[in-house]
Amino acid sequence: MSLDFERLYRAYYMQVYSYVMTIVKDAAQAEEVTQDTFVRAMQSRSAYRGEASEITWLCAIAKNAAFSILKRASRTEELKDVPDENQFEDRLADEVSTLMIHMILHDMPEPYKEVFQLRVFGELSFAKIGRIFEKTESWARVTYHRARLKIQERMEDYEK
């Protein structure tokens, strides 16, 4: 059976494109898949036996092309989500550092311990921390700074 591809393209382009849009939900991808559909149809014209309508045949090709693109895109996304070795090592180092900070905080005397926790974990302003302790904002800043220095010193001791 001989097919006139120019006629097929003009007659069915919008129907195939609309069908593909329902699958891929992206205009640029739908256009790409639709073009690919007509290319595949031309390449496999000998496989068309005329048992189904032309639009049914084209939509079957379009469906396979669309699912191929979606499958390829999902594999690409999966690869993006896999952390590389350096990210894993950095995260592990961060977890170790965080654990060390919590261990140091556990042994830290008051008010340094509480001021640091209120600032870092409670995300409170220095003015609010000062009010909690009935002190000034400057006192809260200085106390927090001293707590940070104590933590840094102890972390350096652990690293030695």
**What is the pLDDT at residue 67?**
86
Question: How many whole angstroms separate alpha carbon 116 and alpha carbon 104?
Answer: 12
pLDDT tens digit sequence for 85-115 = 455 455 545 666 777 777 888 888 898 888 9
Question: If DSSP codes are grouped into helix, strand and coil, which group holds residue 135?
Answer: coil
Mean pLDDT of 73-82: 59
Enclosing domain of residue 104 = 85-159
Which sign, positive or negative, has the C-alpha torsion 53, 65, 68, 81?
A: negative
Q: Which CATH number does the domain housing residue 97 bear?
A: 1.10.10.10
**What is the pLDDT at residue 96?**
66
Last residue of a domain, one of 49, 81, 113: 81
pLDDT tens digit sequence for 26-67 = 888 889 999 999 898 888 877 777 788 888 888 888 898 888
pLDDT tens digit sequence for 127-142 = 999 998 999 999 999 9
Say yes or no: 52 and 115 in one domain. Answer: no
Length of the chain: 160
Higher-confidence residue of 91 and 154: namely 154
Phi and psi at residue 151, to the nearest 5°? -65, -45
Q: Which CATH number does the domain housing residue 44 bear?
A: 1.10.1740.10
Last residue of a domain, one of 37, 60, 81: 81
Question: How many whole angstroms separate alpha carbon 118 and alpha carbon 126?
Answer: 9
**What is the pLDDT at residue 83?**
52
Question: How many whole angstroms separate alpha carbon 129 and alpha carbon 137?
Answer: 7
**What is the pLDDT at residue 80?**
53
The total of structural domains in the chain comes to 2
Question: How many whole angstroms separate alpha carbon 102 and alpha carbon 96?
Answer: 10
**What is the pLDDT at residue 1?**
46
Question: How many whole angstroms separate alpha carbon 25 and alpha carbon 135?
Answer: 59
